[in-house]
Amino acid sequence: TDKLRFAVFGNPIKHSRSPLIHAAFAKQCNVPLEYRALRVELGDFERAVTAFFDAGGSGLNITVPFKEQAAALAAELTPRAARATAVNTLWRDADGVLHGDTTDGVGLVRDMVANLGWRVQGMRVLIVGAGGAVRGVLEPMMRELPDSVHIVNRTVERAETLAREFGVLGKVTAGGYETLTDRQFDLVINASSAGLQGEGPTLPAGILSERCCCYDLLYAAEPTLFMRWAAHNAAWAVSDGLGMLVEQAAEAFYVWHRQRPETQPVVQQLRGVLAAAA
């Protein structure tokens, strides 16, 4: 068969939903493709990428912990990937040049603004966490012209580095959790992975403004810890990160195929899969 071959590389990779999402998009758009989730050993990333494309592979998604390595490996980065120094989408052009892009941040902003109808413009934004995901999110976020972005993180230095790098795009400040005392925000984004271990993040009550929206990058069959905290603190709207997951995949699909699939039916399909697995 003449199916185009795609894959996601990561470690661990068992729980990846990307094959399901791209299969659903491919069906919608009538693109003949196969998409597999492949576990790559930690020291083997560069060889595995080269081997995949040499064997005729069309495109790769990259997930934890290889996004920075992927950015270093690509010969050409899109401006947003260069700014993020992280890549989740790779392809080779006709001349054999390896290109890298990042679609996570666009995925988050599209889910918030287009799907959920939240405003970012003029809002006081709080980002909790300063890992790789936040790196990808900051540029698309600043394009929406928030009033300000404040980043808090357990390791304060990581947040400060991000504020320095992205401060050229607008007002970005950083600090430890103690800087949240007596402050209010209109949009709070949880990009800390603490919830994966069943922990916080621990945020003071009273930081949510009257119409505050709260978005968790995490998702699960049940509301996450952060979502429950937000609801308990009278957030105006609360969402998990499943829409972001599907939107980042849709943007990667667009990068490869120049077609925009419908995302909402796939979000619904995934909700069913998560509920059945719980």
Minimum CB distance to ligand NDP smaller for 5 or for 19 = 19
Q: Return the number of the residue (221 or 234) whose C-beta is nearest ligand NDP.
A: 221
If binding is defined by CB under 6 A, does position 10 make contact with ligand NDP? no
In the list 21, 109, 245, 250, the residue contacting ligand NDP (rule: CB under 6 A) is: 245
Where does residue 21 fall: left (phi above 0), alpha (psi -120 to 50 degrees), or beta otherwise? alpha
Beta bridge partners of 91: 59, 99
Q: Please identify which residue in 24, 191, 212, 270 interacts with ligand NDP, judged by CB under 6 A.
A: 191
CB of 117 to ligand NDP, least distance (A): 19
Q: Which of 3, 14, 27, 67 is catalytic?
A: 67
Footprint of ligand NDP on 156-175 (CB under 6 A): 158
Using the contact rule CB under 6 A, the part of the chain among 41-49, 54-62, 166-174, 217-225 near ligand NDP is 217-225
Q: Which is nearer to ligand NDP, 218 or 266 (CB)?
A: 218
Please tell me the distance from the alpha carbon of residue 110 to that of residue 142, in angstroms, as a whole number: 13
Q: Closest residue to ligand NDP, Cβ-based?
A: 131
Considering the rule CB under 6 A, would residue 129 count as an interface residue with ligand NDP?
Answer: yes
Find the shortest distance in angstroms from Cβ 159 to ligand NDP: 8
Find where tokens 């009273």 sit. 206
Residue pair 110/134 in contact (Cβ under 8 Å)? The answer is no
Give the residue among 3, 6, 2 at the shortest CA–CA distance from 20. Answer: 6
E-strand spans in 43-147?
Answer: 59-62, 76-77, 89-92, 98-101, 124-128
Which tokens is 256 given? 């490869």
Q: Which helix (H) or strand (E) holds 53?
A: helix 45-54
What are 48's two structure tokens? 């595995």
Out of 130, 163, 174, 235, which residue is the one contacting ligand NDP (CB under 6 A)? Answer: 130
The SS3 call for residue 114 is: helix
For residue 237, list its beta bridge partners: 213
Interface residue with ligand NDP among 112, 201, 214, 270 (CB under 6 A) is 201
* Residue 67 designated active-site: yes
Number of neighbours of residue 210 by Cβ within 10 angstroms: 8
Which range touches ligand NDP (CB under 6 A), out of 28-36, 71-79, 221-229, 242-250?
Answer: 242-250
CA-CA distances (angstroms) from residue 99 to 30, 89, 93, 186? 25, 8, 7, 36
Contact between 196 and ligand NDP by CB under 6 A: the answer reads yes
Q: How far is the CB of 32 from ligand NDP (least distance, A)?
A: 26
Q: Does 101 bind ligand NDP (CB under 6 A)?
A: no
Catalytic residue ranges: 67
Residues near ligand NDP (CB under 6 A): 64, 104, 129-134, 153-155, 158, 191-194, 196-197, 199-201, 217-219, 241, 244-245, 248
